[in-house]
Amino acid sequence: MPVADQVKGLLAPLLPDVLSGRDLPPGPRGLDNALFVAKTTNDFMRPLISMAAEYGPVSATFSRGRTLVVLANHEAARHVLVTNQDNYVKGIEYELLRIVLGEGLLTSEGERWQTQRRLVQPLFAKRHIGEFVGQMTDATRDSLDTGPLSDLGEGEGLDINRAMMELTLDVVGRTLFGADLTGETARRVAPAMNDVLTLGTRMVRRLPTFVIASLPGFNMRRAIALNPESIRFRRAVEQLRGVIDELLVEREMSGDPGEDLFGLMLTTTDPETGEPMERDRIADELMTFMLAGHETTSNALSWAFRWLSLNPEARETMVGEVDEVLGGRAPSFEDADRLPWTRAVVEESMRLSPPAWMVGRKAVEEDRVGGYRIPAGASTMVLIRSIHRDPEVWENPEGFDPRRFLPENRGDLPRSAYLPFGAGRRICVGSTFALVEATLLLAMISQRYEFDLPPWASVTEDAAITLRPKGGLEMVAKPRLRLADAVVPGQAQLA
Ligand code: HEM
């Protein structure tokens, strides 16, 4: 980066009006800008939400040496993610993920991304997801019979977020990896994942990290290494990579590549050179799917349990639907369509508590959004958390009301007003997988339990890369009368 730009970047938070020119979106300037930057050291999401509320759906500030544009309505989101998506690449927010995941589907760009997307996409076609459902429900049954959800007594407490992490990791293991990711593996993955997200986010948000990363000869990876937490962070990344390496070696030794994601990666060849995929690349892809494939879904489920506990009527309707459609049996793929209320609960939870609370992009060339200038190189953040609560679109935006997602009510929602899975060509490749999984798991767990927040609970949002309940989500179990038991008169027992 030229020295003039370096200096300009460093001074921008102090003298933004003078340096940036006119026509930029409104936002905090001068001292307000400096205060804004200070606030974002601990929490990025809240200051962005407040900024959008104060300055409008397209606002801008200067943070960490760059122009930061916040997009908080569906039109602006659509412009960046869909209509003019060719002008945007994954932004600085993905630097941390690149360190953890390497160049997998989530973080790569250009031809590399396109080739991988084409390769992987068919695995997520409806036909395959239908085949995965048996493994999803087996994993849930194991969790209910012998795992973290087994034998919970009336009023017994548990960290539902932890239980959902273990369950969704097990699902990824069975469906995509043909491997057992429970027990000891889950006990390695969960804390490592936690360290990667919390320490990683903390280091990246520090102003000095950004300043150092923009100095000649430095980059984000090097700047992060200067933080005191970086040793623990690196160890956590190694733990996760270690799990993938072990699985890869196991599969290679077995002599059968298999027909799952591993098999796909191990047997694919470059159409031009005929060479197999390099091992590092395979590991990057598998890391991506292990992490992207379970963390978000576990958060979606955790938030759903929380919203249901706060809305007993919605929960009663859902439990009624589950009992009527499934009785005591496990759900099938077709049941995902027969459980519209349960699915609507998942969708409404993701509206209010979107696991991906924002997606970030960098503008390649100068652009215009909402009548304002977006300079080349600016970071744009599509603030999904605010778009999902936009009063211009949603009636009673802060209220939890699954009815809005029932098939008969979905009607004329603007196309990018609801984006839990993003939009455009980088839309989540696992969206149908995730929605089917979350709906069926929620239904199955609700056959056995309801969960309540304890009276002392104070749940806060931790907007790391994903939106998670801070410090986990303590809930207490209310076992339900098992239908299978209840039909035998006189022998009804609590599950
Ligand atoms: C509720 C659960 C999930 C949510 C909320 C979610 C959300 C998202 C979002 C918002 C993106 C787009 C990021 C961007 O545009 O920058 C994305 C991409 C991605 N997701 Fe998901 N996701 C979920 C579940 C899954 C599952 C189950 C898998 C795999 C099994 C998965 C794998 C991926 C991958 C590989 C990408 C990158 C796609 C690409 O760029 O081509 N996700 N996800």
- 11-46 pLDDT per residue, tens: 554 444 444 557 999 999 988 988 888 888 778 899
Pair 175, 191: CB distance under 8 Å: no
3-state secondary structure of 463: strand
Q: How far apart are CA 441 and CA 447, in angstroms?
A: 10
CA triple 387-460-169, angle to 5 deg: 85
Residue 234 has pLDDT above 50, yes or no: yes
Pocket test for ligand 1, best of 289, 428, 439 (most atoms within 8 A of CB): 428
Task: Report the predicted TM-score, pTM, of the whole model to 2 decimal places.
Answer: 0.91
What whole-number percentage of the chain has pLDDT above 70?
93
- The ligand 1 atom at the shortest distance from the C-alpha of residue 361 is 16
Which pLDDT score is estimated for 489? 40
- The ligand 1 atom at the shortest distance from the C-alpha of residue 90 is 16
What is the rounded average pLDDT of the residues 182-189? 88
Which pLDDT score is estimated for 16? 44
pLDDT confidence bin for 486, thresholds 50/70/90: very low
Pair 71, 365: CB distance under 8 Å: no
- 439-479 pLDDT per residue, tens: 999 999 999 999 999 988 889 999 988 999 999 999 999 99
62: amino acid identity, one letter? F
What is the rounded average pLDDT of the residues 182-211? 85
169 CA to centre of ligand 1 in angstroms = 15
Kindly give, in sequence order, each residue whose CB lies less than 8 Å from that of residue 21, ignoring residues fewer than 6 positions away. none
Q: Provide the token pair at 216.
A: 């000649």
Which pLDDT score is estimated for 494? 35
Q: Provide the token pair at 364.
A: 């390649």
429 CA to centre of ligand 1 in angstroms = 6
Q: Provide the token pair at 331.
A: 């759900």
406 CA to centre of ligand 1 in angstroms = 23
Q: How far is CA 192 from the centre of its chain?
A: 17
- The ligand 1 atom at the shortest distance from the C-alpha of residue 354 is 5
List, in order of start, the domains of the chain with CATH numbers: 73-486 (1.10.630.10)
Q: Is 418 left (phi over 0), alpha (psi -120 to 50) or beta?
A: beta
Mean pLDDT of the chain: 89
DSSP code of 1? -
Q: How far apart are CA 83 and CA 364, in angstroms?
A: 15
Q: How many helices (H) and strands (E) does the chain have?
A: 22, 12
289 CA to centre of ligand 1 in angstroms = 9
Compute the half-sphere exposure of residue 24: CA atoms within 13 Å on the CB side of its CA. 24
3-state secondary structure of 362: strand
Q: Residue 337 is inside which H or E element, if any?
A: helix 335-338
